[in-house]
């Protein structure tokens, strides 16, 4: 296992703005995973990293040490190349659902190991679990078979991938160290590198509904993750995309599945289509495969993959999706142009309606969430519906409405408003 160290020596080195050696990093990640380094010691080290940062070498070594804590998957036996996408999370971000089938329809296999939602950003698995019968958990053998047969799988990541990350993630959550860019980057990239995908495209969100609120921090995170991919010989590209307003016209679980199916049927909101096509194009290019993602949405081939992908995991793609029992409408208070619909506020409202969870063990309501009737740039008239709030429990409406206080801005009818571009930047190694 290399040199022995002790936790206090590693903590004080980083506290005093030193660079940790390879053997210090290897030791502390391994010893923490085994329980030899106590939670409070790792909490102290995480805070030192948050305050003092890490060099590119340190982050790369830390990432490798997290990967070494568990198993690695290998998709090289498949008959086609693989590519995956990771989004840093946002409101209404259902892009994985149409994206995986589109990319698979173009000839690249997509092993999308996803997580559950926590807080105001929805989890892909929670969305898909609103489809009757659909199962999130697959054995590695079943996953390999489905990738070969169908070309796409969206499932829960097994506990064997980067167990150090699982432990550290929970600790960061309760110690105010979630925001440390070296720790965010190594958390995401350790799982994706261990997963064994052949190429990776990152969607780094920026804006009120995203984890990163400003462009400089989002760019720093994107550059750090792209560098980690390069250092691990994983071709990685990042798009920095706007999350000041929700993506699409829904935030919730079943609501977002229905919207994704509209996109796969050749319709759906223009922003969801634009981002799906942009990310698919990046994934195909990174995997070295030519294809036309926009055409596969129009010709039904992506929808065919969706149907097979959902069915392969026990879901009924033609089943009626759950619908919330109660609803209430938020109306426009004036005539004019909608100039702001705050993503964070909509995300928190959806969460309070029952679409998200506050603790890992909470269950979510399949039908709860927010339907959006106007987006920034649209003309609205006084009294017209802006949002519909949906929940099975009407006593949730009051707190959801409170979350939306000040979230909507309507400017006078003469205002000309151009929404920001959806794709703000592209980062490559």
Catalytic residues: 86, 165, 172, 187, 191
Output the six-digit token pair for 380: 């609205």
Q: How far apart are CA 41 and CA 38, in angstroms?
A: 5
Can you say whether the dihedral through the CA atoms of 353, 90, 101, 227 is positive or negative?
Answer: negative
Output the six-digit token pair for 122: 């929805």
Helix H or strand E segment including 297? helix 293-298
Q: How far apart are CA 375 and CA 398, in angstroms?
A: 23
Instruction: Determine phi and psi for 325, rounding to 5 degrees.
Output: -75, -30
Beta carbons of 91 and 343 less than 8 angstroms apart: yes
Q: What is the DSSP letter of 265?
A: T
Q: Which long-range contacts (CB under 8 A, 24 or more apart) does 8-13 make?
A: 8/41, 10/45, 11/41, 11/44, 11/45, 11/48
Residues 6+ apart with CB under 8 A from 73: 111, 140, 161, 194, 195, 196
Beta carbons of 66 and 42 less than 8 angstroms apart: no
Residue-wise over 227-263: b if at least 16 C-beta within 10 A, else e? bbbebbebbbbbbbbbbbbbbbbbbbbbbbbbbbbbb
The candidate with the shortest Cα–Cα distance to 363, out of 174, 166, 129, is: 129
Residues in the chain: 429
């Amino acid at each position: 296992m290399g040199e022995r160290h002790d936790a206090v020596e590693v903590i004080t080195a980083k506290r005093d703005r030193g660079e940790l050696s390879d053997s210090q990093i290897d030791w502390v990640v391994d010893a923490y995973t085994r329980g030899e380094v106590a939670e409070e010691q790792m909490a102290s080290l995480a805070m030192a990293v948050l305050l003092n940062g890490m060099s590119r070498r340190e982050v790369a070594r830390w990432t490798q040490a997290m990967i070494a804590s568990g198993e690695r998957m290998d998709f090289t036996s498949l008959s086609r190349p693989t590519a995956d996408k990771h989004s840093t999370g946002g409101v209404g971000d259902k892009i994985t659902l149409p994206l995986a089938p589109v990319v698979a329809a173009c000839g690249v296999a997509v092993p999308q190991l996803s997580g559950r939602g926590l807080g105001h950003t929805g989890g892909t698995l929670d969305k898909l679990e609103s489809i009757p019968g659909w199962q999130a958990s697959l054995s590695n053998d079943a996953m390999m078979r489905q990738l070969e047969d169908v070309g796409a799988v969206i499932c829960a990541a097994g506990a064997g991938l980067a167990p150090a990350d699982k432990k550290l993630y929970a600790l960061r959550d309760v110690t105010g160290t979630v925001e440390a860019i070296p720790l965010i980057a190594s958390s995401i990239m350790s799982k994706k590198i261990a997963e064994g995908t052949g190429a990776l495209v990152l969607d780094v969100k920026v804006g009120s509904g995203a984890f990163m609120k400003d462009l400089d921090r989002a760019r720093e995170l994107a550059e750090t993750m792209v560098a980690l991919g390069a250092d691990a010989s994983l071709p990685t590209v990042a798009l920095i995309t706007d999350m000041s307003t929700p993506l699409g016209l829904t935030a919730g679980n079943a609501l977002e599945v229905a919207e994704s199916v509209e996109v796969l049927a050749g319709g759906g909101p223009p922003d969801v289509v634009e981002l799906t096509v942009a990310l698919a194009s990046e994934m195909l290019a990174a995997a070295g495969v030519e294809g036309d993602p926009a055409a596969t949405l129009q010709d039904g081939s992506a929808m065919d993959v969706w149907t097979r992908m959902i069915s392969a995991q026990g879901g009924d793609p033609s089943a009626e999706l759950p619908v919330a029992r109660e609803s209430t409408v938020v109306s426009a208070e004036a005539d004019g142009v909608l100039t702001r619909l705050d993503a964070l506020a909509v995300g928190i409202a959806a969460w309070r309606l029952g679409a998200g969870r506050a603790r890992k063990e909470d269950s979510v309501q399949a039908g709860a969430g927010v339907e959006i009737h106007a987006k920034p740039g649209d003309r609205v008239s006084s009294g017209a519906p802006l949002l519909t709030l949906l929940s099975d429990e009407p006593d949730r409406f009051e707190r959801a409405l409170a979350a939306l206080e000040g979230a909507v801005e309507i400017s006078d009818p003469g205002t000309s408003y151009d929404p920001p571009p959806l794709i703000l930047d592209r980062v490559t190694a």
